[in-house]
Amino acid sequence: MKNMIKVLKFEYLTCIKNKAFIITTSIFMALILLMTFLPGIISSMNSKDNNSIDELPVIAVSDKAYKGDAVVKKVLEKFYPRKEIKLVDEDVDTIKSKVDSFEYRFAVILDTPVTYTYVTKNNSLMNSDTSTLNLALTDLFRTVSFEQYGIPSDKAEQILNTSLSFQTITTGVDQTKNYWSTYILIMLLYMAIIMYGQMVSQSVVSEKNTRAMEMLITCAKPSHLMFGKVIGSGLAGLTQLVLITATTLASISTIGSQSIPKEILEFINFPLSTVLYALLFFILGYFIYSFLLGALSSLASRSEDLNTLTAPVMMLFVIAFFIVIMAVNSDSVNSTLMVVCSYIPFTAPIAMFARVSLADVSVIEISLSVVVQLISVYLLGMLAAAIYRIGVLMYGNPPKPSEIIKLLKARL
Amino acid sequence: MELNIQNVCKSFRDKEVLRDVSLTAYSGSALGLLGRNGAGKTTTIRIIMGVFYPDSGDVLVDGKPLDRKKIRIGYMPEERGLYPKKIISEQLIYLAMLRGMTKPDAKTACDKWLERMGMSEYKNKKLETLSKGNQQKIQLAATLMCDPQIIILDEPFSGLDPVNAMLLKDVIREMISSGATVLFSSHQMNYIEEFCNNIAILNSGSVVLDGKINDIKRSYPRDRIEITSQQCAGISEFVLSRMSDMILSADIDTEQDDTVLIRLKNADFKGRLMTELSSGGFDIDCFKVCEPSLNDIFVEYTEAGI
């Protein structure tokens, strides 16, 4: 046990000090910061042109449709409260040149009540002028029309501006809130389990390849080496995840809350319980898969053999991932297939996670799945240590599955 | 202390690798473990290290089963195994700690052994930056750091230059004289002859010969005589004519022209030969019995196998 902790510590520090690890973590953190800063950065880059244009006070309206009705100015002022609405009687070229020389913020040429020309200096994807104008001009058209039928403009406005208020009561799980966060977390879960599992697998092969194993195996029990390595690498992975999550939370709650549009923030609103479940299922999934990968890797003599050996496990996990993603997409996370999958140890970590966060799952079901996974972790750990013991001193071509079983039987 | 390997048998899958192997090594001396490639040396060593379990038989220390927690064993594998990309002192300390040393002790031992190997300046370097011979010295430091009572060295001299080989010899002699039990496996017979009082030759998984080197050599018929003299041509002629009934051959050594090799029909004729030679009035520098070299013995016992 003491030795296992020593191995664990050594493996953890090795991972943490690994250059590739440090670089990946830094890149991830930098990317997150960049993403939260990005909207702000983009708008500040555009600000030289657009912001100054945005602040121009005059909006020119060339009204050919309503013949200078005062209501035009009144309605537009309602939609642009901080701008001066200037009714102009200029030809198109004059208007264009004035817009171009920053005299007008923009100009609208109303040809008929329902057709207009929008003249602007710069146009961008983010430009919302036309949508506001559409609203304003529709409002104008309706107000004028109502007046024609004898309904005064203030009455008309009241009728037009009626809005409903409503409340939603969700008794189960509110998928609208959880959908995107679950989707993102399933992806992360999948990536993290594969990534850290492969880290274990690489580390086992390199120890064998450099023959460091020849020394190690005489200093500590194979099971201690195996468990120490898997737990140590897992903790390193967790450290990385915590760093990245902390950066995300910190940047979103500080800069992000201003620079990221509200709609996106609501998209990635991770409920605490979901995050905690993700963590739990990451730990279980990580152990299930890294024991398998570690054991299989111990049978490889070179890293070239690694892919062939670990392919079946990888395939298994990819299938699990697709089943879950398809269920999430088709809104059937409680289908029989998913229920079954959430008790099979190899699919349970992501299947159960998807169900917990998108559907109403009873505590008993969750606990049962967790217990199944815990037992599998224990059994797989034992099996992995046994295979590892045989594998680490075996060189040459990787043995066939039937040979492994024979060897294991011989041990027992 | 007495390390006893008793009637150990071991098979992998269907292949019998060790067949009833018994060996004994004593503290304060070295046992040379000889054998061709694949004879079962490494398997024997791994059984002592507890990496493999024997199918039958025991590993005993002073009659009791070897307790690897109490008795410190230092092992230097033939396939050198350390982390190439890690700092030398870090991995030495790690390995020593796995063998049960505390961190401060491991640090002291690390400094001491790097100093002893003349490797202190490389303490904070990565192993892969060192030359092969220097890596070997680090490996030896890793083996000896835990102050082992049993030391197992598998081909310790391969890749070392004469100066480093000398340093290594000194270190091993020191360990032997301080009472360690050394198990020494090598194909370089001169080193075995230099260190080991006892040898055991493994062939196809069985011990085909074991005992004190001197006894083994003496057990060979002492019927070959080597005479060094300036008058070897005369000696050769003289003995062939005077003692033809007792001599098989008397040839001048092809490599050294002042040496005659005489093969007697019977070792008992040695005294007779000496009398005859002195009566012939020859000026003789050296008269000695040719003992078989360890190399000859090794080849003789292992040639047929495998």
Is there a single domain that holds both residue A210 and residue A128? Answer: no
Task: Please give the residue range of the domain that contains residue A184.
Answer: 2-32+174-411
The pair phi, psi for residue A116, each rounded to 5°, is -150, 165
Contact A211 B46 (CB under 8 A): no
Give first-to-last CA distance, chain B, whole Å. Answer: 34
* B221-290 belongs to CATH 3.30.1280.10: no
Q: Cβ contact (<8 Å) for B81 and A6?
A: no
A vs B, Cβ pairs < 8 A, gives 50
B186: Cα within 13 Å, side-chain hemisphere: 25
pLDDT band of A23, cuts 50, 70, 90:
very high
- Mind listing the pLDDT tens digit for each residue in A99-148? 888 888 888 888 888 888 888 887 777 777 888 888 888 888 888 888 88
- The pLDDT, as a whole number, for residue B113 is 92
Domain match, A131 and A280 both: no
Q: What is the DSSP string of A287-301?
A: HHHHHHHHHHHTT-S
Same domain assignment for residues A133 and A272: no
- Are the C-beta atoms of residues A232 and A11 closer than 8 Å to each other? yes
Is A216 in contact with B81 (Cβ distance < 8 A)? Answer: yes
CATH 3.30.70.100 residue ranges of chain B are 221-290
Distance between CA atoms of residues A221 and A199, nearest Å: 21
The last residue of a domain, from among A138, A160, A182 = A160
Phi–psi pair at B165, nearest 5 degrees = -60, -40
3-class DSSP state for residue A220? coil
Q: Which residues of B touch A7 (CB under 8 A)?
A: 98
Confidence of residue A266 (pLDDT cuts 50, 70, 90): low
A contacts of B99 (beta carbons < 8 Å)? 219
* A372 shares a domain with A258: yes
Q: Does B14 touch chain A (CB under 8 A)?
A: no
The pair phi, psi for residue B125, each rounded to 5°, is -95, 160
* ipTM of the complex in this document: 0.77
* pLDDT value for A348: 92
Residues listed for chain A: 412
At A161, phi and psi to the nearest 5?
-95, 10
pLDDT at A400: 75
A304 to chain B nearest CA, in Å? 19
In a domain, A279, yes or no: yes
Within a domain: residue A48? no
- Per-residue pLDDT, A175: 65
CB of A216 less than 8 A from some CB of B: yes
With a CB cutoff of 8 Å and minimum separation 6, the contacts of B199 are B31, B32, B33, B34, B192, B209, B210, B211, B213, B216, B294
Amino acid identity of residue B9, one-letter, is C
Q: Which of A6, A211, A218 sits opposite B51 (nearest CB)?
A: A218
pLDDT of amino acid A212? 85
Question: Which pair of tokens denotes residue A216?
Answer: 């190690």
Residue A307: which pLDDT band, with cuts at 50, 70 and 90?
confident
Of A132, A160, A188, the residue that ends a domain is A160
Looking at the complex, report in whole angstroms how far the Cα of residue B289 sits from the nearest Cα belonging to chain A: 45
Residue A73 located in a structural domain: yes
Q: In the CATH hierarchy, which fold is given to the domain comprising B2-218?
A: Rossmann fold (3.40.50)
pLDDT computed for residue A374 by the predictor: 95
What per-residue confidence (pLDDT) applies to A231?
Answer: 92
The alpha helices in B80-160, defined as continuous H runs, are: 88-98, 103-116, 132-144
pLDDT at A48: 52
Mean residue pLDDT across chain A? 84
Q: What tens digit of pLDDT does each residue of B250-292 get?
A: 888 777 778 888 888 888 888 888 888 888 888 888 888 888 8
What is the structure's pLDDT at B306?
A: 44
- Answer whether A405 touches B (CB < 8 Å): no
Query: Do A63 and A11 share a domain, yes or no?
Result: no
Which residues of chain A make contact with B83, given a CB cutoff of 8 A?
207, 210, 212
Distance of residue A206 Cα from the nearest chain B Cα, in angstroms:
9
B82 touches chain A (CB under 8 A): yes
Which class for A272: exposed (0-12), middle (13-18), buried (19 or more C-beta within 10 A)? exposed
Residues of chain B under the 70 pLDDT cut:
304-306
B94 vs A10, A210, A406: nearest CB: A10
pLDDT for the residue A386: 86
Task: Give me the percent of chain A exceeding a pLDDT of 70.
Answer: 90
- Give yes or no for residue A51 having a pLDDT over 60: no
- For residue B99 the two structure tokens come to 């063998």
Residues carrying CATH 3.40.50.300, chain B: 2-218
Name the pTM for this structure.
Answer: 0.75
Q: Is B142 on the interface with A (CB under 8 A)?
A: yes
In the structure, what pLDDT confidence band is assigned to residue A52 with cuts at 50, 70 and 90? low
Residues A165-218: tens digit of each pLDDT: 888 777 766 666 677 778 888 998 999 999 899 989 988 888 888 888 888 888
CATH number at residue A69: 3.40.190.10
Q: What is the pLDDT of residue B298?
A: 86
